[in-house]
């Protein structure tokens, strides 16, 4: 039986058509022939520009925008999707989302960092959203992978450079060379034998360029790991009935009717219906 997966981006995908089309092509190469992936992004007008980093560098605004991900997950289950992929490395609200829906929910960062342990001992990260550097130590601690994390380094490129390279292939090589040079330093100076490309657009650019190693360190392909993990977790749920824990404060599930009441109280009951398919 084929799968239907809800893809959720932290960008407004309508604002980034070249990124969207490149992402669709890469995902189609990764998933099984009978897996259908439906693309979704943040609601149009969520950010003041096409770059969400202007908002998500602030903890409050990052958390507030994450409410769309809660609404999207509930909408995905309501519409009969088999799984949801949170295609953003921090994967906002992922722990809370898993208490609200019964379909597998896979996050890019969580999956990439956990799988890094199967490819090496020490993992480093590259990123262009440098304003969020303080965020990652706490996030990796929550994921339980901080022990093998050796550090994070600016990728040497900006979001706009990466976006331009995805749109114009003639710019790709120069941007990729800058990222690889930084990755090689992370491998050499920090001792990383696995590297996670932070933001999903950078991950996509490196995957399209066929970059599998930097200074001998394995480069995690976040798109491939996310969607193969989504397929695997749906298979496991179907085969063995495995689902996320429902025990304890961080996993216990609130009454869905009460969730509806609270969302209505805050005027958020129709938020999910505003998240469009791209």
**Sheet of 123-127: strands edge to edge?**
149-154, 123-127, 194-197, 217-219, 213-214
- Which uninterrupted H or E stretch holds 119? none
**Sheet of 3-8: strands edge to edge?**
35-40, 3-8, 83-86, 105-107
Residue 51 confidence (pLDDT): 79
> What single string gives the DSSP state of each residue in 169-193?
GGGHHHHHHHHHHHHHHHHHHH--S
**What is residue 273's DSSP assignment?**
G
Residue 182 confidence (pLDDT): 95
Domains and CATH numbers, the chain: 3-232 (3.40.50.12500)
Residue 183 confidence (pLDDT): 96
Give dist(CA 272, CA 278) in Å, integer. Answer: 14
**Residue-level pLDDT, tens digit, the chain, 278 residues:** 799 999 999 999 999 999 999 999 999 999 999 999 999 999 999 998 887 888 888 999 999 999 999 999 999 999 999 999 999 999 999 999 999 999 999 999 999 999 999 999 999 999 988 878 888 888 999 999 999 999 999 999 998 899 999 999 999 999 999 999 999 999 999 999 999 998 999 999 999 999 999 999 999 999 999 999 999 999 999 999 999 899 999 999 999 999 999 999 999 999 999 998 98
Length of the chain: 278
Token readout for 139 is 């996030």
Residue 73 confidence (pLDDT): 97
Three-state DSSP at 139 gives helix
Three-state DSSP at 93 gives coil
pTM recorded for the entire structure: 0.95
Give dist(CA 153, CA 125) in Å, integer. Answer: 6
């Amino acid at each position: 039986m084929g799968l239907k997966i809800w893809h959720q981006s932290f960008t407004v995908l309508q604002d980034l058509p070249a990124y969207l089309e490149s992402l669709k092509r890469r995902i189609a190469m990764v998933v099984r022939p009978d897996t259908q992936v439906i693309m979704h992004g943040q609601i149009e007008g969520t950010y003041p520009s096409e770059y969400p980093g202007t908002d998500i560098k602030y903890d409050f605004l990052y958390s507030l925008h994450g409410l769309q991900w809660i609404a999207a997950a509930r909408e995905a289950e309501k519409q009969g999707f088999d799984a949801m992929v949170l295609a953003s490395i921090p994967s906002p609200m992922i722990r809370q989302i898993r208490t609200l829906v019964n379909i597998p929910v896979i996050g890019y960062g969580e999956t990439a960092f956990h799988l890094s342990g199967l490819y090496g001992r020490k993992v480093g990260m590259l990123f262009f959203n440098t304003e969020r550097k303080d965020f990652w130590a706490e996030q990796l601690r929550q994921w339980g992978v901080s022990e093998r994390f050796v550090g994070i380094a600016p990728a040497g490129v900006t979001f706009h450079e990466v976006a331009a390279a995805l749109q114009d292939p003639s710019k790709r090589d120069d941007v990729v060379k800058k990222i690889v040079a930084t990755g090689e330093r992370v491998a050499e100076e920090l001792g990383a034998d696995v590297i996670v490309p932070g933001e999903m657009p950078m991950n996509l650019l490196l995957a399209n360029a066929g970059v599998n190693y930097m200074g001998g360190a394995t480069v995690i392909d976040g798109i491939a790991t996310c969607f193969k993990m989504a397929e695997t977790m749906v298979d496991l749920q179907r085969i063995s009935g495995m689902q996320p824990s429902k025990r304890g404060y961080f996993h216990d599930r609130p009454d869905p009717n009460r969730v509806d009441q609270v969302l209505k109280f805050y005027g958020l009951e129709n938020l999910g219906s505003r998240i469009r398919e791209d």
